[in-house]
Amino acid sequence: MMQMKLTTAGIVAAALGLGACTDPATIGTPGSKTQKGAVLGGIIGAGVGAIANDSDRGLGAVTGALVGATAGGVIGNQLDAQERELRQTLANDGITIVNTGDRLILSFPNDLTFATDSAAVAPAVQGDLRRVADSLVRYPNSTIQVIGHTDSDGDAGYNQGLSERRANAVASQIQAGGVPYHRMRIIGRGEAQPVASNLTPEGKARNRRVEVVVIPQAA
């Protein structure tokens, strides 16, 4: 009796094939976030399917790849659309948006968002946080991490507390815009996760930030 034998390459090829046809208008472009999401979902789904179906690992892997690729493509589509909308609506150029393919990372520089040594959100940014909240309300199938960061100046313990207070202040603005609190996880990282050198004023300015990370969930 012939047994089905599937290699990892074959499974990934199946995921790629499904990802390429999920939405020809958007994921036919090489390197698009939607296609990356479909491929990643397919690979993860293949692994889950292979493990979950001991009686026929090959069939389980293919099924998992197809389901995972479909879910990944849907998530990629959502992220692409949400990213476009946010770029069109946010008023401050200092707020950056990075689409990694499985999440959006919005970075609010502390020098724009807070006065020195303060955890009160500046009025100039409150409108943008309301726009972010509006977007999160329109895309309810996601969880949100609000993460505070500081530079390395001063006492590490104080910086940790300041990062937590600032993350809480941003989360409160988002909640006031209609986003349920249970969708958010509030984190303070203090000076532990710099994105630039703390040896220059420019690097320190980049490290002082609050990130709003939007992570879509499969429906």
Whether pTM > 0.75 for this model: the answer is no
209-216 and 184-188 beta bridge pairing? unpaired
Query: d(Cα 86, Cα 143) in Å, to the nearest integer?
Result: 17
Beta strands in the chain (DSSP E): 96-99, 104-109, 142-149, 184-188, 209-216
Query: How many whole angstroms separate alpha carbon 17 and alpha carbon 35?
Result: 10
- Whole-angstrom Cα Rg for the chain: 21
Q: pLDDT by residue (tens digit) across 106-141? A: 999 999 999 999 999 999 999 999 999 999 999 999
Is the pLDDT at 173 greater than 80? The verdict is: yes
Q: What is the pLDDT of residue 83?
A: 98
Which of helix, strand or coil describes residue 215?
A: strand
Per-residue pLDDT reduced to its tens digit, 52-72: 555 565 655 555 554 444 555
Domain borders along the chain are 74-216
CATH superfamily of 74-216: OmpA-like domain (3.30.1330.60)
Sign, Cα dihedral of 50, 18, 36, 84: negative
The DSSP secondary-structure symbol of 55 reads G
Q: Where are the alpha helices (H) located in 90-151, listed in sequence order?
A: 110-113, 123-138
